[in-house]
Amino acid sequence: GAVVSQHPSWVICKSGTSVKIECRSLDFQATTMFWYRQFPKQSLMLMATSNEGSKATYEQGVEKDKFLINHASLTLSTLTVTSAHPEDSSFYICSARDLRLAQETQYFGPGTRLLVL
Amino acid sequence: DAKTTQPPSMDCAEGRAANLPCNHSTISGNEYVYWYRQIHSQGPQYIIHGLKNNETNEMASLIITEDRKSSTLILPHATLRDTAVYYCIVRVANAGNMLTFGGGTRLMVKP
């Protein structure tokens, strides 16, 4: 299957700082990437849809000014958590659409664990 | 996307087949059944998907009933590394939309 990477795999930061998470599709181009968030013992919740060359679409309740998404190329999307607070501590996961197959399939990155102190 | 129902948890003995059921009684004709799994502290991993025919790959087999209202994911020889949460997702392929994750089934493979 296709490979999606995320960097960093984990990050610890102080409250009030900003953190950038990168999501890369390594062996395919992805016009659309998705950002999910997962709290302990819960399922994945979609935060936003990232489209290459256009503004991201955010789910209801997700602050677009706090979670900045940039999808500047067909293989890279970034999520910046601005002015992070302890309640933003979570597991952030991206996925990318692989259109090479007859039926589109989404592949996920390994996730980034964020801890805000 | 159609709603799916899965048992919250299942146990399986190592080396035996793991059969994970999924109900999707409201599935529409153009919706595919996708299976993903999430091993602890990792991103979800694609396993298999199908429309109406049974499918098999190197990881698993997918059996879809003739009326398409339910399906079963089969791991033929479960290993301890197959312990994970398994998600059954029904969606229209090529629609460009996100995957909606339910609660999934927590499969525990025991020695």
Of A97, A103, A110, the CB nearest to B43: A110
> A105, B32: Cβ pair inside 8 Å?
no
> A104, B96: Cβ pair inside 8 Å?
yes
For residue A60, give every residue at least 6 positions away whose Cβ sits within 8 Å of its Cβ, in sequence order, or none.
none
Distance from A25 to chain B by nearest Cα, in Å?
A: 14
For residue A90, give every residue at least 6 positions away whose Cβ sits within 8 Å of its Cβ, in sequence order, or none.
A37, A38, A39, A113, A114
Q: For B31-62, how does the pLDDT look when each residue is reduced to its tens digit (9 = 90+)? A: 999 999 999 989 999 999 999 989 999 999 99
The confidence band for B92, taking pLDDT boundaries of 50, 70 and 90, is confident
A103/B contact by beta carbon, under 8 A: yes
CA A58 to chain centre: 12
Q: For A77-96, how does the pLDDT look when each residue is reduced to its tens digit (9 = 90+)? A: 999 999 999 999 999 999 99
Q: For A14-31, how does the pLDDT look when each residue is reduced to its tens digit (9 = 90+)? A: 999 999 999 999 988 888
Residue A97 pLDDT exceeds 80: yes
Give the number of A-B residue pairs with CB atoms closer than 8 Å: 58
DSSP-assigned states of every residue in A22-65: EEEESSS--SEEEEEEE-TTS--EEEEEEETTS--EEPTT--TT
The sheet that has A4-7: what strands, in order across it?
Answer: A4-7, A19-25, A76-81, A67-73
Using a CB-CB distance cutoff of 8 angstroms, which residues of chain A are in contact with residue B93? 103-104
Instruction: Judge whether A6 and A21 are in contact, CB under 8 Å.
Output: yes
Using a CB-CB distance cutoff of 8 angstroms, which residues of chain B are in contact with residue A49? 98
pLDDT at residue A54, as a whole number: 86
> A110, B42: Cβ pair inside 8 Å?
yes
Report residue A88: phi and psi, to 5°: -85, -5
Using a CB-CB distance cutoff of 8 angstroms, which residues of chain A are in contact with residue B40? none
Paired sense of beta strands B55-56 and B61-64, if any: antiparallel
The confidence band for B2, taking pLDDT boundaries of 50, 70 and 90, is low
In this structure, what token pair is assigned to residue A31?
């016009």
